[in-house]
Each structure stands twice: as C-alpha cells, then as structure tokens.
C-alpha cells in the first residue's frame, strides 16, 4: 500500500510543489482499518506547525500525536467516513506561555476532512486541509459590532467578503472581488448572488441559505463563481446570518476564498485512482467497472460485446537488454498505436506490465477479428525510441460475451485465448472456442 501511494506522488511532483507553497496545512492519510490512519504526505506548512518530519510517513496518528489530540482527529476522520462526505469542524488551541489563557493567545483552526472512496465504496484515503482561522474569527467578531467596523475590515481583507440580504441581493462586495474574480465591487450591488453561481450548484446554495434562515447557524459551502473572463472558479465560503436588535434576520455575511488548487489536487487523486500513471489509460479498476456496465446493457438490449487481451511478445527481453526506461516508452507508444486502430467508442486499458485489454461493441464477430488483424499488422512497424530501432510483435486473445456470463468469466476466456495465441507461435490472435 505505502509503496504504491509513494509511487503515485513521485509522478505528481508539480502538485507537491504547489502544496508546499501554500499556507494551509495539508495532510494525506491512508485508511488501513477502523482506527489505523497513517501519514502519507504533509506539506511544509503542516510540518512546521505540527513539528513532524519525514519519519512520520507511514506512522499512525496515535504514533505521532498526544492521545487526546489523536483521539479527536481519529473521531473526525471516522465521522467523515461514516457520513461519506466532506466535513468541516473547528477547534482551538491555547498557547503554553505564561499568559496562556488570555484571549490574545487563542488560536482557532478549521479542518476540512474529505474521504476518498474506491469503486467498492471503501474509504482508502483521507485528505485533511487545516487552516488557521484566528484572524478571520477575530474579524467576524468585529464585523458583528457595527456596520462601520466590519466594512472597514472587509475593505482590507484578501478574502472575498460580501453582504447579502435575505432575498439574495448583494448589498456589499469587498475590493478583493476585483483582483480575484475580475468584477468591480460596485457592479455586484443590487445583483442577485445566484446570478454569479454555476447552474450546477445554484439549488444546493439556495437550500443552504434557507437552512441558515431556519436554523440561524453558521455554515460552510463550496460553489463555482463566474469570473469576468467567463471561466468558473471554485470558492469555499463560510456564511453567517446576522440578526438585528430584535433577533430577526438582517442579512448574510459571506467570507470566501478561491480554492482551485485544492480542487485540482483532489481531482488528480480521483483520476489516479482509476487510471494508469504511465500511459494515462484506464486501469484495471475502471476497465472492470465499464465492462460490468456494458454487460448490463448487453443483457437489456441484446448487444454484442467482445474483450481482447493483448500483450507484447517477449517484452521482458526489451527490458533486460535495453532497460526499463526504454520499456516504459515502448509501452506508451504501444498503447498509442493500439488506440489508432480503435474506434472512439472502444475502451483500451492497461491492466499491468505489458498486459492491455480492449472492450468493443460490435455488430458481428468479424468486426472484432478485423480490428485484431489491424493491430497485429500495425504493431510490427519499426519502433524508434531514443537511439534504438527495433521491431516487436503482439499476441491477442478474443472472447465474445454470451448471455448470462459474468465479467470475470469473460475476462478469463480472453486470457485463455491469449495463451492459445502464444502457444501457436505468437504474432497472431485466437478466438476463445
């Protein structure tokens, strides 16, 4: 597990560089059991804050943290997994200085816990983003004291601050809207907040606004906001309901910030869970998911589907004589040649090593056979990789779906057909009989 995860991160150095240059504390944890949460990655800010070093990688929260702190963290991780969604919680810490209990020494933190699930619905990783929100907490308190005070503070914040009336009309937008979103603050005044929110999130945000009115509790929300250049930026915001002297809803206060980097990181992690990092093809997990879907469709609509198992004949000799770097480049070019032989609707996946699999929907068996012939022919063209020129061949096993067959049986038949092709002298295909 650990070596696999480490390998993933070695291939995304640019993401690590991004996260090592942001102020939020970023943790990636592996989930190995009920209470077994192990550090896989922490950015430089997290290391400085926690005092942890690289030797914490692979160790559990309880190995590295005081028991009371570790218990709280594990409790929140388990709750996020139970809810199967991102959760946000706040806590605070008190300085150990002589005047520890003075208000100046309080530090507030906001932790956003995102569980990542595999195709079987099992949580495999936790992404935790911890932010020092002490400054924001103090500013929120000041904002509530009077309109004049919070307008002065908001005008000098880098966060996006807006005041929205109970009907959704914006009455104030901080100057930071200009630098971050490209809209002049005065252009927001009188406009409906929902005019700026992505259609995919409007109903959810409306629902959260209504919940705020009903429960009068602060909440955190994420949504895409349109930029002046017509692109969409992800924002994370904390919205509070401000009451008048009679305890009635006066307006909403929204404090938000742009979180595109975090969203890209989370999206990349999800991508890596279902794709081969060398060729960027679907991996075994995604291929099997698609295969099950296609089998279900075949049962409903009577479609014919075929599975091809493909490998490179004597690929080990390439690795042994030319080196693994050349072997990796061969695998990438090999996958591109195969793709050139396929239709847009066909699915090519790398299962591991030099094993590839293709999923095809065909009208008749000869359609799959013709594609196999084309692949075998095109693969024999000379490879030119760095200073090397050489020729390889390929063997293919083909199996066709039959009513009532499950995915494992279909894959096994294609694998058996590949074995038959190898036994027949390689550089050929065999259809499972």
Check whether residue 334 and residue 291 sit in a common domain. yes
- Given a cut of 50, whether residue 29 has pLDDT beyond it is yes
Q: Across residues 252-275, what is the average pLDDT? A: 87
- CB-CB contact of 236 with 222 (8 Å): yes
- Given a cut of 80, whether residue 152 has pLDDT beyond it is no
- Given a cut of 90, whether residue 242 has pLDDT beyond it is no
Q: Across residues 51-72, what is the average pLDDT? A: 90
- Given a cut of 60, whether residue 97 has pLDDT beyond it is no
Query: 132, 152, 175: which is the final residue of a domain?
Result: 132
Spell out the residues 6+ positions from residue 32 whose beta carbon is closer than 8 angstroms to its own.
1, 38
Check whether residue 55 and residue 165 sit in a common domain. no
Check whether residue 215 and residue 299 sit in a common domain. no
Check whether residue 294 and residue 356 sit in a common domain. yes
* Angle, CA of 156, 236 and 136, to the nearest 5°: 40
pLDDT the model gives residue 98:
37
- CB-CB contact of 303 with 297 (8 Å): yes
pLDDT the model gives residue 4:
52
DSSP-derived secondary structure for 308-350: EEEEETTHHHHHHHH-HHHHHHHHHHHHHHHHHTS-TT-EEEE
Query: 201, 230, 261: which is the final residue of a domain?
Result: 261
Banded pLDDT at 95 (limits 50, 70, 90): very low
pLDDT the model gives residue 290:
95
**Cα–Cα distance for residue pair 323/314, rounded to 1 Å:** 14
In sequence order, what are the beta bridge partners of 252? 164, 241
Higher pLDDT, 100 or 338: 338
Check whether residue 220 and residue 319 sit in a common domain. no
**Mean pLDDT, all residues of the chain:** 87
Q: Across residues 98-124, what is the average pLDDT? A: 77
- Given a cut of 60, whether residue 343 has pLDDT beyond it is yes
**Cα–Cα distance for residue pair 326/320, rounded to 1 Å:** 10
Banded pLDDT at 106 (limits 50, 70, 90): confident
Percentage with pLDDT > 70 across the chain: 90
Banded pLDDT at 49 (limits 50, 70, 90): confident
Percentage with pLDDT > 90 across the chain: 58
Residue 391, exposed/middle/buried by CB under 10 A (0-12, 13-18, 19+)? exposed
In a domain, 280, yes or no: yes
Other CB atoms within a 10 A radius of the CB of residue 160 amount to 22
Residue 235, exposed/middle/buried by CB under 10 A (0-12, 13-18, 19+)? buried
pLDDT tens digits, one per residue of 280-319? 999 999 999 999 999 999 988 888 999 999 999 999 999 9
**Cα–Cα distance for residue pair 59/43, rounded to 1 Å:** 16
pLDDT the model gives residue 224:
92
Among candidates 36, 19, 10, 221, which has minimal Cα distance to 129?
19
- Given a cut of 50, whether residue 131 has pLDDT beyond it is yes
In a domain, 270, yes or no: no
CATH code, domain with 35: 3.30.450.20
Q: Across residues 161-176, what is the average pLDDT? A: 91
pLDDT the model gives residue 244:
82
pLDDT the model gives residue 99:
44
Check whether residue 143 and residue 122 sit in a common domain. no
Higher pLDDT, 142 or 327: 327
- CB-CB contact of 259 with 235 (8 Å): yes
Enumerate the H helices of 192-323 as residue ranges: 202-215, 260-274, 284-301, 315-322
Banded pLDDT at 203 (limits 50, 70, 90): very high
Banded pLDDT at 18 (limits 50, 70, 90): confident
SS3 137: helix
pLDDT the model gives residue 8:
52
pLDDT the model gives residue 283:
94
Cross-sheet strand order for the sheet of 394-400: 347-352, 355-362, 304-312, 394-400, 429-431
In a domain, 347, yes or no: yes
Per the structure, the complete domain to which residue 63 belongs is given by 2-132
Check whether residue 112 and residue 252 sit in a common domain. no
CATH code, domain with 352: 3.30.70.270
Torsions phi, psi for 63 (to 5 deg): -65, -35
Question: What's the number of domains the chain is made of?
Answer: 3
Banded pLDDT at 1 (limits 50, 70, 90): very low
In a domain, 48, yes or no: yes
In a domain, 267, yes or no: no
Q: How far is CA 247 from CA 24, 122, 140, 213, in A?
A: 35, 45, 18, 12
Check whether residue 70 and residue 36 sit in a common domain. yes
pLDDT the model gives residue 68:
87
Check whether residue 250 and residue 347 sit in a common domain. no
In a domain, 268, yes or no: no
Check whether residue 97 and residue 169 sit in a common domain. no
Query: 226, 261, 296: which is the final residue of a domain?
Result: 261
- Given a cut of 50, whether residue 101 has pLDDT beyond it is no
pLDDT tens digits, one per residue of 172-196? 998 889 989 999 999 999 999 999 9
In a domain, 269, yes or no: no
pLDDT tens digits, one per residue of 374-419? 999 999 999 999 999 999 999 999 999 998 899 999 999 999 999 9
Check whether residue 99 and residue 122 sit in a common domain. yes
Check whether residue 184 and residue 218 sit in a common domain. yes
Higher pLDDT, 145 or 242: 242
In a domain, 339, yes or no: yes
**Cα–Cα distance for residue pair 200/178, rounded to 1 Å:** 24
Banded pLDDT at 6 (limits 50, 70, 90): low
């Amino acid at each position: 597990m650990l070596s696999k995860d480490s390998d993933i991160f070695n291939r995304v150095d640019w993401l690590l560089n991004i996260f090592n240059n942001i102020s939020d504390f970023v943790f990636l944890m592996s989930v190995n059991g009920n209470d077994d949460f192990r550090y896989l990655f922490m950015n430089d800010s997290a290391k400085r804050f926690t005092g942890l070093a690289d030797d914490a990688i692979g160790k559990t929260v309880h190995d590295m943290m005081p028991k009371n702190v570790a218990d709280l963290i594990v409790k929140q991780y388990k709750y996020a997994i139970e809810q199967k969604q991102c959760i946000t919680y706040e806590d605070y810490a008190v300085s150990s200085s002589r005047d520890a209990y003075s208000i100046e020494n309080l530090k507030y933190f906001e932790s956003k816990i995102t569980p990542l699930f595999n195709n079987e619905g099992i949580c495999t990783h936790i992404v935790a983003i911890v932010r020092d929100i002490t400054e924001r907490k103090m500013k929120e308190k000041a904002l509530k004291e009077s309109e004049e005070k919070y307008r002065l503070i908001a005008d000098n914040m880098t966060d996006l601050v807006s005041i929205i009336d109970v009907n959704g009309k914006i009455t104030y937008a901080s100057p930071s809207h200009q630098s971050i979103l490209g809209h002049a603050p005065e252009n927001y005044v009188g406009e409906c907040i929902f005019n700026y929110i992505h259609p995919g999130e409007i109903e959810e945000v409306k629902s959260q606004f209504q919940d705020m009115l009903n429960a009068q509790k602060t909440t955190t929300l994420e949504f895409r906001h349109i930029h002046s250049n017509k692109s969409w930026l992800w924002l994370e915001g904390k919205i509070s309901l401000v009451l008048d002297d009679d305890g009635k809803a006066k307006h909403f206060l929204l404090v938000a910030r742009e979180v595109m980097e975090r969203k890209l990181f989370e999206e990349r992690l999800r991508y890596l869970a279902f794709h081969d990092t060398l060729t960027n093809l679907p991996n075994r997990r995604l291929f099997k998911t698609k295969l099950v879907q296609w089998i279900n469709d075949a049962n409903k609509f009577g479609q014919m589907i075929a599975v091809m198992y493909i490998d490179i004949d004597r690929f080990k000799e390439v690795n042994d004589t030319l080196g693994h770097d050349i072997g990796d480049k061969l695998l990438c070019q090999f996958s591109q040649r195969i793709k050139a032989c396929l239709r847009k609707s066909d699915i090519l996946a790398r299962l591991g090593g030099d094993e590839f699999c293709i999923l095809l929907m065909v009208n008749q068996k000869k359609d799959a056979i013709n594609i196999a012939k084309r692949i075998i022919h095109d693969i024999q063209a000379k490879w030119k990789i760095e200073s090397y020129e050489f020729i390889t061949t390929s063997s293919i096993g083909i199996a066709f779906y039959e009513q009532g067959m499950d995915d494992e049986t279909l894959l096994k038949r294609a694998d058996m057909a590949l074995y038959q092709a190898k036994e027949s002298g390689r550089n050929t295909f065999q259809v499972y009989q």
